[in-house]
Amino acid sequence: MTSQDHPPAPVPGIAPAEFLRALTTRTAVRAYTDTSITLETVNALLEGMQAAPSAGNTQAWSFIVIREPRNIRRLRAFAPGVIGHPALVVLACSDDSRGPEYPSEKQVRTLCVAMAVQNLLLTAHAHGLGACPVHSFAPEPLRLLFDLPPYLQPVLLVPIGIPAHQRSPSSRRASDEVISYETHGQREPVSHGAPRGATTT
């Protein structure tokens, strides 16, 4: 090891191996018990969600938290992707009224919402809850049901509840099929020569 080559310092209180275990054990959950979730827990989920990064920190997003059973029933009528009876559903929208210049592209705003949804899924998992990102829904009826203004675009639904059963994580493609080093198709990392930051003459 050289003076430029420090081992990384983990965030205090967060064991990297435990954190990785949280990431690799999350899986889509589509069946829930009929137990409700406290507002305190819901708030923790929303805090994790809002910590997501966004382009230029514009946070061009808006979230509707749907907890009333009557509203969840109505939503399910237009969202075939919401399976089972979740305790709550988050309707995650991009917000065209925020940062109209940047990010100018709809796609960038959509990516920001997807990042927030991933945070929500992981925070739910860390609390022992099950959740699933859902794109199978009819946006226009939901727009009417939940009074969305024209500048909000529904991106994903996230039903959340206490898992009805344990699920094993879904399979993933092999790393050597999807990861390259330096150039596409180079399947092995190339060994370093000089350490980063070293000057050459």
Ligand X SMILES: Cc1cc2nc3c(=O)[nH]c(=O)nc-3n(C[C@H](O)[C@H](O)[C@H](O)COP(=O)(O)O)c2cc1C
List interacting residues with ligand X (CB under 6 A).
27-28, 30, 81, 132-136, 170
**In this complex, which beta carbon is closest to ligand X, that of residue 21 or of residue 187?**
21
**Closest separation between CB of residue 31 and ligand X, Å?**
11
* Shortest Å distance, C-beta 175 to ligand X: 16
Compute the least distance from the CB of residue 76 to ligand X, in Å. 12
Q: Cα–Cα–Cα angle for 131, 143, 42, nearest 5°? A: 35
Tell which residue, 152, 112, 155, has the closest CA to residue 133. 155
Least Cβ distance, residue 133 to ligand X (angstroms) = 4
Helix/strand/coil for 161:
strand
User: Residue 115 and residue 61: Cα distance in Å, rounded?
Assistant: 11
Nearer to ligand X, 168 or 201 (CB): 168
For ligand X, the closer of residues 87 and 131 by Cβ is 131
Tell me phi and psi for residue 156, to 5 degrees: -145, 155
Query: Which CB sits closer to ligand X, 28 or 162?
Result: 28
Query: At its nearest, how many Å lie between ligand X and the CB of residue 110?
Result: 10
Which whole-number Å values give the CA distances from 175 to 21, 122, 188, in the listed order? 17, 22, 11
Closer to ligand X by CB, 89 or 132: give it.
Answer: 132
**Residue 90, H or E segment:** strand 88-95
Q: Which residue has the tokens 């070293």?
A: 198
Q: Which residue is at the shortest CB distance from ligand X?
A: 81
